[in-house]
Chain A
Amino acid sequence: MSSPNGTPTKITQGSQTKGGIGESTLRPDGTLKVTGEFAYSSDMWHEDMLWGQILRSTVAHAEIVSIDTGEALATPGVYAVLTYDDLPTDVKNYGLEIQDTPVLAHGKVRHHGEPVALVAADHPETARRAAAKIRVDYRELPVITDEASATAPDAILVHENRDDHHAGHVPHPNIVHRQPIVRGDVAQARERADVIVEGEYTFGMQDQAFLGPESGLAVPEEDGGVHLYIATQWLHSDLRQIAPVLGLPEDKVRMTLSGVGGAFGGREDLSMQIHACLLALRTGKPVKIVYNRFESFFGHVHRHPAKLYYEHGATKDGKLTHMKCRIVLDGGAYASASPAVVGNASSLSVGPYVIDDVDIEALALYTNNPPCGAMRGFGAVQACFAYEAQMDKLAKKLGMDPVEFRQLNSMEQGTLMPTGQPVDSPAPVAELLRRVKAMPMPPERQWESSEGADLRELPGGLSNTTHGEGVVRGVGYAVGIKNVGFSEGFDDYSTAKVRMEVAGGEPVVTVHTAMAEVGQGGVTVHAQIARTELGVTQVTIHPANTQVGSAGSTSASRQTYVTGGAVRNACELVRAKVLEIGRRKFGSSHPAWATAELLLEGGKVVTDGGEVLVDLADVLEDEAVEVEEEWRHRPTEPFDLRTGQGNGHVQYSFAAHRAVVEVDTELGLVKVIELACAQDVGKALNPLSVLGQIQGGTTQGLGVAVMEEIIVDPKTAKVKNPSFTDYLIPTILDTPTIPVDVLELADDHAPYGLRGVGEAPTLSSTPAVLAAIRNATGLELNRTPVRPEHLTGTQLSEG
């Protein structure tokens, strides 16, 4: 079939574009994005395409007694209706790590909104109406919604007959994975404590709420295969899960990255990929599926809600003695990334502090709540909220300044993680706190003006709830630690194909990777790396697809490190080949070819002393040099299942926040006035993009501090607020100024010394805001998000 409208093309930044690494080069896709020309996956269009629609379960836990598709199939305009019975092969489940997720429900549904049937029709409304005509008879089962109901002696098993690799070591089949970490002797260390602080914390379920809904277009191909244009975080991971269900070899499932409207972890798991392919292969026509926002809330995993139990001790001079914690994450009905989230939550549960004696347990449950998996911060977020609350409690009990107390206990390069792994690159925790504290404070009572109170600067805003009466300011601090890259022994590689040739008398480099550009600006950085390494100005970014090796996931703050590393590595190999050709052609003309270190700069071969030897155009002539190569960071190890010991992480990323809030204490309304951040990024490859990551991550942390939460009815396990009307994310009015202080202490193990940036700011933002609200109100506030009733004391019950 012909290519659909919206097929991505190569993007070339022309020879006017400057900018190697370290410069704030502008995005190559910027113009396309501001003119509306950039094609997102939901913009794909093909002549004669059909629209796919998914029928989802209306109940959380039930046996499926029968499915009647007759009326739906008879609807004019409907081309296909598919259920479990129509799946073409024996492979009927998929999953990132554990293949426990049915493509379509079979005999049972385990959460509200689980896919049950598919419809393809010639108009999206026809498809929706036909799906509504499918009659599913459910026999409801009791719902498992929390740890008590999951691990009760007579609990129904969410998944029977588990045979995954975690099944053998978990204490109950409704626990996906459990990771203890034990180091030192907590009982003995506890004896040294002059003060002990305990806390029980609750973290609500957050949604990624990327703006571009799940969507894609599947086009059947003449060879019996299918071409999927898709918004995802990892093309090859999708491919590995899709092909077996379709019964096709991987080379017959072609995947091209379409425009991605944000991700934040929510596109790590499959959504509509297999469904669109199944409908396209069944009907022989291109099939487009686009979720609306309501469906999007059911169509991807969320951040794990958590219960966290912590005990810390400290001596009276402010040194931490020990920590005990238990972190219970609700993984929902399917495993998704839960095992890795458990690994993160446990290994990062101490925070960026020195505590030699720890006793840690983290686990994820199977329940009938919505499935939870990856979201920016990935297990470290929940822990940071709790340990930072504990730090404030300890400082208060000791009568110490909360920042000084943290600095007194801050980890440094050389500190051991609770896993026994040494932190072998800079860990400027105390310095980040110092910097964020040193930033100027926003002026008091900014709402006052000669014309009376500017409501827009007050809690409650234009609702006109206060003119300053009852408004109290509070200030809070927090700091966090996030791992960068995939941990626990995962083979976390990337692949880059780099080609250099001469076009129009000028050397041109093409960079081809399968990296998912989801907005972070990886494409900008790849071109910058190519310019720096190969001395050209014109760089073409090839569309990401599966015609090149895997780039790994755009997650875990890893792409600049790992795919950036792969691009740099491929560039170095191209440079070596180019110099080899040059030596062959020109080696006898100048002794420097044999003796000097040679570089590529400004389209020429130069010596390290800056002497020009020859134009690259003359070296290459009509020859093209191309290299495709995998690249790996240092290997990691799994954590011991009993002790949690092991060199599990690649790199760490640190950020600190200071939040300034104003609270209308009578109505419980919060306005965040400023959220200052200091972060170490190792090396800012693109400073403008780095700021964008830090400010964006900070704002997502603000969201889960004061507004964002998916509410699940504890009696039915049904989602109560799947819309932007009822699930609120920060608007520009809710978001304060975010001054950022960027520190660049190189990590010698990483390309250019860089550190992954994207996630760390999401960690400390939330606890800083909570600390500021506590500071303003004097309340304990052990859950996030904070709602008005938590501040006014008018809350009737939890939930």
Chain B
Amino acid sequence: MRVNFTVNGRPQEADDVWEGESLLYVLRERLGLPGSKNACEQGECGSCTVRLDGVPVCSCLVAAGQVEGREVVTVEGLADYARQRSCASDACGTSLQNAQQWEATGDSQTGEGTELSPVQQAFIDAGAVQCGFCTPGLLVAADEMLERNPTPTDADIREALSGNLCRCTGYEKIMDAVRLAAARQGEAV
């Protein structure tokens, strides 16, 4: 079957999709967007978390056909999504400073200079990334929580991220990262 849907703001068309294929498979193997991860493929680990019409879901548990006509945001689109969100509330054209930075950046080998969402930057700065396999799902989930709840308590953070397994960090640096993102978000307002 053919599935038409929007991914990270761009219309996408996937052909020859089997009825049994998940959204995760279509993103990873048919659309060249492997950022959403495949740690369990049974809805237990949260590493494939994406937003479907704004709601965080395990994309491994969404049949590809279910996304027909709908909007999906993946980790690859998180920075854009966060920028548009902040632009919706502020007036934000491109400043001269940003335009100059644009020229100076773009080291394709490390991604240094890539524009990141606040939560992505906080995960790097706080040391919340080790192997990084849980990171995309955690970022999508954490970003969604901070959108709903800009000043979360520790218990709020733990509750919101309880569907995302991490095996490397012991979660302490992830807590730090989300607190940091919330604090920076608060300063920016």
Number of interface residues of A (CB under 8 A): 76
* Chain A residue contacts of B127, Cβ below 8 A: 24, 26, 688-689, 691-692
- Looking at the assembled complex, report how far the CB atom of B7 sits from the nearest CB atom of chain A, in whole angstroms: 12
A9 engages B109 (CB within 8 Å):
yes
Do A691 and B112 have beta carbons less than 8 Å apart? no
Q: Does A5 sit within 8 A of B, measured CB to CB?
A: yes
CB pair B134 A211 closer than 8 Å: yes
Q: Which of A38, A260, A293 contacts B42 (CB 8 A)?
A: A293
Contacts of B109 in A (CB 8 A): 9-12, 540
Contact with B along A211-234 (1 / 0, CB 8 A): 111000000000000000000000
Q: Please choose the segment from A107-115, A569-577, A595-603, A727-735 that sits at the chain B interface, where 4 or more of its residues have CB less than 8 A away.
A: A727-735
Of the stretches A345-353, A356-364, A366-374, A517-525, the one at the interface is A517-525
Measured in the bound complex, the distance between the Cα atoms of B114 and A210 in whole Å is: 28
Residues of B contacting A260 with CB < 8 Å?
A: 131
Known contacts A211-B165, A732-B164; A456/B35 CB under 8 A:
no
A10-44, CB < 8 A from B: 10-14, 16, 24, 26-40, 42-43
Q: Chain A residues near B121: list those with CB within 8 A.
A: 34
Which of B38, B42, B169 is the one whose CB lies under 8 Å from A724? B42
Q: Which of A209, A521, A730 contacts B130 (CB 8 A)?
A: A521
Choose the segment among A387-395, A695-703, A785-793 that binds chain B (4+ C-beta atoms closer than 8 Å): A695-703
**Dominant SS among interface residues on chain A:** loop
**Nearest CB on A from B49, distance (A):** 12
Please pick, from A6, A262, A731, the residue contacting B131 in the complex, using a CB distance under 8 A: A262
B129–A209 CB distance below 8 A: no
Contacts of A208 in B (CB 8 A): 167
Interface set, chain B 38-59, CB cutoff 8 A to A: 38-42, 44-45, 47
The verdict on A99 contacting chain B, using a C-beta distance below 8 Å, is no
B168 interface neighbour in A34, A37, A519, Cβ under 8 Å: A519
Interface string of B2-40 (1 = CB under 8 A from A): 000000000000000010110000001100111111111
- Residue pair B173, A691 in contact (C-beta under 8 Å): yes
Contact residues in B for A733 (Cβ distance below 8 Å): 158-159, 162
Task: Report the stretch among B62-70, B74-82, B84-92, B94-102 that lies at the interface.
Answer: B74-82
Q: Is the CB of B18 within 8 A of A123?
A: yes
Give min CB distance, B48 to chain A, whole Å.
11
Contact with B along A722-745 (1 / 0, CB 8 A): 011100011111010110000000
Alpha-carbon distance A259/B38, docked complex (angstroms): 13
List of B residues within 8 angstroms of A33 by Cβ: 129, 132, 135
Establish whether residues A27 and B129, one from each chain, have CB atoms under 8 Å apart when the complex forms: yes
Using A34-B124, A261-B39, A725-B44 as known contacts, say yes or no to A29 and B169 having CB atoms under 8 A apart: no
Task: Assess the B167–A738 pair: CB atoms within 8 A.
Answer: no
Q: In the complex, A438 Cα to B143 Cα: how many Å?
A: 37
Q: Which of A13, A208, A457, A735 has the most CB of B within 10 A?
A: A735
Whole-angstrom distance between the Cβ of A134 and the nearest chain B Cβ: 21
B146 within 8 A of A: no
Query: Across the interface, which residues of A come within 8 angstroms of B157, CB to CB?
Result: 732
Chain B residue with the shortest CB-CB distance to A208: B167
CB contact under 8 A between A456 and B45, given known A34-B129, A37-B111, A262-B167: no
Is B167 a contact of A36 with CB atoms below 8 Å? no
Collect the chain B residues with CB atoms within 8 Å of residue A737's CB: 172
In the complex, chain B residues whose CB is within 8 Å of the CB of A724:
40, 42, 44-45, 165
Q: Quick one: which of B78, B120, B131 has the most chain A CB within 10 A? A: B131
Q: Which residue of A35, A456, A729, A730 contacts B114 across the interface (Cβ within 8 Å)? A: A35
Contact with B along A381-418 (1 / 0, CB 8 A): 00000000000000000000000000000000000000
Write out, one digit per residue, whether chain A residues 687-727 have a CB within 8 A of any chain B CB (1) or not (0): 01101100111111000000000000000000000011100
Determine the residue in chain B with the shortest Cβ distance to A688. Answer: B127
Q: How many B residues touch A, CB cutoff 8 Å?
A: 65
CB atoms of B75 and A36 under 8 A apart? yes
Chain B residue numbers with a CB within 8 Å of A454 are 155
User: Quick check: is B72 within 8 A (CB to CB) of the other chain?
Assistant: no
In the complex, the answer to whether B125 meets A26 with C-beta atoms within 8 Å is yes
The CA-CA distance from A457 to B20 in the complex, in Å, is: 40
The verdict on A292 contacting chain B, using a C-beta distance below 8 Å, is yes
Q: Are B111 and A32 neighbours in the complex by a CB distance under 8 Å?
A: yes
The complex places the Cα of A45 from the Cα of B121 at a distance, in Å, of 28
Q: For chain A residues 249-298, which have a beta carbon within 8 Å of chain B?
A: 259-264, 290, 292-294
Does B161 have its Cβ within 8 Å of any Cβ on chain A? yes
Given A211-B37, A724-B42: A31 and B110 interface contact (C-beta under 8 Å): yes
Given known pairs A31-B124, A36-B76, A691-B173, the reply for A262 and B133 (CB within 8 Å) is yes
Q: Is the CB of A45 within 8 A of B29?
A: yes
Q: Is the CB of A34 within 8 A of B169?
A: no
B170 beta carbon closer than 8 Å to chain A: yes
The yes or no answer to B107 lying at the interface (CB within 8 A) is yes
**Is B174 in the interface zone, CB < 8 Å from A?**
yes
Residues on the A chain within 8 Å of B42, using CB: 292-294, 723-725
B32, B139, B158 — which one has the most chain A CB atoms within 10 A of its CB? B158
Shortest Cβ distance from A738 into chain B, in angstroms? 5
Residue in B closest to A40 when the chains form the complex, CB atoms: B133
Contact A692 B44 (CB under 8 A): no
Which residue of B29, B110, B170 has the most chain A CB atoms within 10 A of its CB atom?
B170
Would you call B173 and A731 a contact (CB within 8 A)?
A: no
- Cα A125 to Cα B163 in complex, Å, equals 27
Question: 9 shortest A-B CB distances, which residue pairs?
Answer: A36-B35, A519-B131, A261-B133, A33-B132, A31-B111, A695-B170, A699-B170, A724-B44, A43-B34
List residues of A whose CB falls within 8 A of some B CB: 5-6, 9-14, 16, 24, 26-40, 42-43, 45, 123, 125, 208-213, 259-264, 290, 292-294, 454, 456-457, 462, 518-521, 540, 688-689, 691-692, 695-700, 723-725, 729-733, 735, 737-738
The 13 listed contacts between A and B (C-beta, < 8 Å) are A12-B109, A16-B112, A32-B111, A34-B120, A34-B123, A35-B111, A39-B34, A211-B166, A262-B131, A456-B158, A695-B172, A696-B170, A724-B40
